[in-house]
Amino acid sequence: MATSESSQTDPLLLLRQSIAAGSACIPTTTTDATSASSVDLSLAKATYLQFSSPSQISVPLSTPTRFISSDKPVDLRSIYFAWLNRNTAIPDYNGAAQSLNSELASAGGAGGEVQNLAFVERLDLITWLEGASEESEHIRPLKEDTSAAAASAQVAAGLKGGIALVSSGKPGTGKTIDPRLQEIYNGERKMGDRNSVLRGIKPTDFSHVRKLAAPFNARKAAQAAAAAAATATTLPHNPKAPSGRRPDPIIMLSPSASSLLRMSNVKSFLETGIYVPPDSGSMPSASNALLNTSRLIPSVDPVRPVKFVVVDTPERFKPEYWNRVVAVFTTGQAWQFKSYKWQHPQDLFKNTLGIYVGWRGDQLPETVKGWGRGVMPVQVDKWNPGQGNAGRWRDREVVEGIWKAIEENMRSKGWRKESGPVGS
């Protein structure tokens, strides 16, 4: 079945609008969900997904969508499954996908299989569905958007339609409006999106402009690197900066239960500068497999905060993701690195920044000492339940030191406003 390219029936837009409106999406076995017998909340047996907002419509769950993974469209069943499991940890998400595929293939199942999305793809999809982002590198534009952009480009170039004299509307005067001006009036738009405003030879593909600009970007990057080397001899020379969208840097946590920083409290610690134990009642449960946190990194982008992705496992990492890792929090236990690209701590901390967070006054573990200057040790005051947040005034200094070290590491790796690390 071909992907629907109309905004009225596009499954991705329908799902996003339903989420925004808070209306339920109902898996059904027929196109009509008014009958209780046709409603099946199991994705293993359902063949349609019925939307009630902005209009009531049923779309086959096997419909390919505009979301592209591994150069292939992802079907609606896989998209809806990823949304339902948006807060599920990566191992649980993979296990649920395997279980659903077994049910789909069994007797009475709807057939087919759900596609596992990489954690970065799933994050990108969920962010777009929730309305937190208006664009996604994995979602193709609608055909009607590209058609509108092409028509606008023709009008702007004076290639669309003929030019005819237009009367001013006053009888007997014989005055006419300048035809070129009238043609411009005809091409005026009250509203526009990124496809209609950015007009060019190709409505949505600006790769030809990127190729033309590549020599200028390379020369500018080389000049900036030379200037940086003159002021900071520790920074490596950056002969070229990769073009395109800057990827999100990644921060790795230790999955150890003894770690002072876990998925439940790391976001609060890095953003507010106050340490609260992960098992504290005020902290949320650590059910998320990944988190987002933002921080202004002046040497990378002095205006817009940089978005960081925080994970505690490299499961489903693509090889290129390791170039985006800017910090690894560790408890000094080497088993943490068994599934890493660099399994030996000495090799790992030659390629990225290591951070050890311990209690103030405790001895630094011998393993961390043996890993050398690649690991930055920091200490926070021991938690006093009776004192609460009132006595945590030194935590902010620790957090600022951590962010400063991360910024130095990113700058040395070549992170820039419009590009990721050199070699990524």
DSSP letter string over 125-163?
A: HHHHHTTS-S--TTBPPPHHHHHHHHHHHHHHHT-SS--
The model's pLDDT over 384-420, given as tens digits with 9 standing for 90+, comes to 877 777 778 899 999 999 999 999 999 999 998 888 8
Same structural domain, 125 and 149 = no
Cα 23 to chain centroid, rounded: 25
Q: Tell me the one-letter amino acid at 331.
A: T
**100 by DSSP, 3-state: which?**
helix
* Per-residue confidence (pLDDT) for residue 4, from 0 to 100: 42
Q: 250, 51 in Cβ contact below 8 A?
A: no
Among 90, 88, 125, residue whose Cα is nearest residue 312: 90
Same structural domain, 184 and 276 = no
Same structural domain, 41 and 74 = yes
Name the phi and psi angles at 139, rounded to 5: -110, 125
Same structural domain, 84 and 110 = yes
Q: Tell me the one-letter amino acid at 184.
A: I
* Per-residue confidence (pLDDT) for residue 70, from 0 to 100: 86
Domain that holds residue 40: 11-129
In this prediction, the residues of the chain whose per-residue pLDDT falls under 50 are 1-4, 155, 161-174, 201-202, 231-243
* Per-residue confidence (pLDDT) for residue 150, from 0 to 100: 57
Same structural domain, 291 and 237 = no
* Per-residue confidence (pLDDT) for residue 233, from 0 to 100: 36
Q: Which helix (H) or strand (E) holds 59?
A: strand 57-60
Q: Please indicate, yes or no, if residue 6 is contained in any of the structural domains.
A: no
Q: Please indicate, yes or no, if residue 204 is contained in any of the structural domains.
A: no
Same structural domain, 259 and 359 = yes
Q: Please indicate, yes or no, if residue 393 is contained in any of the structural domains.
A: yes
Domain boundary among 105, 129, 153: 129
Same structural domain, 260 and 402 = yes
User: Is the pTM above the cut of 0.75?
Assistant: no
Same structural domain, 62 and 110 = yes
Residues 345, 254: Cα–Cα separation, whole Å:
13
Q: 356, 375 in Cβ contact below 8 A?
A: yes
Same structural domain, 367 and 263 = yes
**330 by DSSP, 3-state: which?**
strand
Q: Please indicate, yes or no, if residue 217 is contained in any of the structural domains.
A: yes
Residues 201, 209: Cα–Cα separation, whole Å:
10
Domain boundary among 94, 129, 164: 129
Q: Please indicate, yes or no, if residue 277 is contained in any of the structural domains.
A: yes
Among 140, 247, 158, residue whose Cα is nearest residue 203: 140
**Cα pseudo-dihedral 308, 313, 315, 318, rounded to 10:** 40
* Per-residue confidence (pLDDT) for residue 214, from 0 to 100: 78
| Domain tally, the chain | 4
Residue 27 pairs with which residues in a beta bridge?
49
Residue 285 exposed, middle or buried by CB count within 10 Å (0-12, 13-18, 19+): exposed
* Per-residue confidence (pLDDT) for residue 239, from 0 to 100: 37
Domain boundary among 129, 158, 183: 129
Same structural domain, 80 and 150 = no
The model's pLDDT over 133-171, given as tens digits with 9 standing for 90+, comes to 788 888 888 776 555 555 555 545 555 544 444 444 444
Residue with tokens 């620790």: 398
Same structural domain, 175 and 290 = no
Apex 146 CA angle, 143 and 148, nearest 5: 110
Residue 74 pairs with which residues in a beta bridge?
none
- Specify the DSSP class assigned to residue 321: G
User: What does the chain come to in residues?
Assistant: 424
Same structural domain, 300 and 373 = yes
**384 by DSSP, 3-state: which?**
coil
Q: Please indicate, yes or no, if residue 408 is contained in any of the structural domains.
A: yes
* Per-residue confidence (pLDDT) for residue 202, from 0 to 100: 46
Apex 291 CA angle, 286 and 294, nearest 5: 135
Q: Please indicate, yes or no, if residue 226 is contained in any of the structural domains.
A: yes
* Per-residue confidence (pLDDT) for residue 217, from 0 to 100: 79
